[in-house]
Amino acid sequence: MTKYISTRGGNEKISSAAAIIKGLASNKGLYVPCEIPRLPLTIEEMVGKSYKEVAFIILKSFFDDFSDDELRYCVESAYDDKFEREEIVPIVQAGAVHFIELFHGKTAAFKDIALSILPYLMTTAMKKEGIDKKVCILTATSGDTGKAALEGFADVEGTEIIVFYPHNAVSKIQELQMTTQEGRNTHVFAIKGNFDDAQRGVKSIFTDSEFAKELSQKNILLSSANSINIGRLVPQVAYYVYAYLKLLEEKAVNLGEPMNVVVPTGNFGNILAAYYAKMMGIPIRTFICASNKNKVLSDFFETGIYDANRDFYVTNSPSMDILISSNLERLLFHLNMNVYKDHEKSSEEVAALMADLEKNGKYEVSGDIKKEMGMFVGGFVGPELTLKTIQSMYNKHGYLMDTHTAVAYDVYSEYKKHVCDDFETVIASTASPYKFPASVANAIGIEKMDDDFEYLQEINRVTGVKIPSSFADLKQRPVLHKGVIEKTEMPDAVRESLKK
């Protein structure tokens, strides 16, 4: 049975069910499998399988303590008619690349793929582990995770969900999606700060032993819906496996021929899932990590130095406005494993780097790790060029992108100018263009309007691109969550929410 350990060491080796429930290790590390599993079938045997079938295979490989019936229940419950496309994640060719559209769920962003299934994995895991406690899902969001988590956990028996997002730093659509969320167990707070402040506050609560004891006395257990939770990360692996299978079906690649993957990246979970797909046996040549003006990851892959001591920018791709990319820690662990072939030594290296980050706001990896990072390429693009890319892609190819996908496409275009690379490329299209209607409208020449909802209608009129059905009555929904708090007030907000 696959066991899970902390990236920062310790003697703990736990089941996937226990790792999903805990979310974050007690030493602040992230749970990783002792070994990343290989695909149980050959790629040839997987060609032609549906998305649900691929998802089951991936989940069973990582979560082998779950029974087949338990995992089929989770998959069937998650990937149903809440997705507007039968194939769940359509693959669309435009501009000499393939886009894997990850935004056809209820919140119109890629987080739906994993957060539709996490509640089922979580509640099944609780039963398996014999835990008779209420689980409190605590999450920081830069815009999309929050709504997807709220949607997934709303009114799920035995759970409460609390979401913190940066005040005035998400789109109006994103904010309304969260603040209008119904559900007896849902709680949403804007904090006066940025996403990194929210994420730091959540991690601090998770690692506060006194706070955990206080909640335990009330029969409450904390867990996370961020991609720090292995139950959030693993379902994302499935769509990269599925993408390669679809390229084979379309004869865009030959069996064994690699593809490139481009991901607009903030917290590093989405691109890490692609790395896991490669480790499982999917031929991926280059991982292109696309950043916006907050280019901490782009700089890291160029220099090997991660330095969060820099100005923070609010951009038109807000889900990437992040300076502390949590899931990079998992990659560092795996790269160290490639070098040392030893869990303990790898954990020691990661723990030291994370200590440097916490103390000094920066760290530098070794020369060996820099060599291991060679399959990753970083690039970044500013807000103005992001809009020009949306315009150019729409005018030339009739394909309408959101701001995050545009960042990815532009970074890939720059990569192609400097590297002779003709391998088929898949770009993760992470959000509907309607999530960021003012920016998209501005990019394609629509005149300034009074609010995002006028932009929705005008974009639809001009382009014919369907508005997500979940946006239809968003403007009319009552705002149910109005709290705006200081970042220091986050623990008290959790206490108050759990009293209700």
Terminal Cα distance for the chain, rounded:
40
Cα 286 to Cα 289: distance, rounded to the nearest angstrom: 9
CA-wise closest residue to 90 among 77, 80, 105, 78 = 105
In three-state secondary structure terms, 486 is strand
Write out the DSSP string of 97-115: EEEEE---STTSBTHHHHH
**Torsion over CA: 482, 487, 490, 492 (sign):** negative
User: Which residue, chain included where needed, has tokens 């070994």?
Assistant: 35
CA max distance for the chain: 61
Q: What angle do CA 338, 342, 348 make, to 5 degrees?
A: 100
Cα 388 to Cα 75: distance, rounded to the nearest angstrom: 39
* Catalytic residue (choose from 22, 28, 111, 246): 111
User: Which residue, chain included where needed, has tokens 């998770």?
Assistant: 206
111 given a catalytic annotation:
yes
**Residue 307 phi, psi dihedral angles, 5° rounding:** -130, 105
Reduce the secondary structure of 272-301 to three states and give it as a string: HHHHHHHHHCCCEEEEEEEECCCCHHHHHH
For residue 154, what are its two tokens?
């709303």
Given a contact cutoff of 8 angstroms between Cβ atoms, the answer to whether 28 and 8 are in contact is yes
Given a contact cutoff of 8 angstroms between Cβ atoms, the answer to whether 238 and 246 are in contact is no
CA-wise closest residue to 39 among 196, 240, 298, 197 = 240
**What residues contact residue 93 under an 8 Å CB cut-off, 6+ apart?**
99, 252
Given a contact cutoff of 8 angstroms between Cβ atoms, the answer to whether 121 and 74 are in contact is yes
Instruction: For residue 393, give the amino acid letter.
Output: M
Continuous H helices in 378-472: 383-397, 403-418, 437-443, 452-463
User: Which residue, chain included where needed, has tokens 């990661």?
Assistant: 350
Catalytic residues: 111
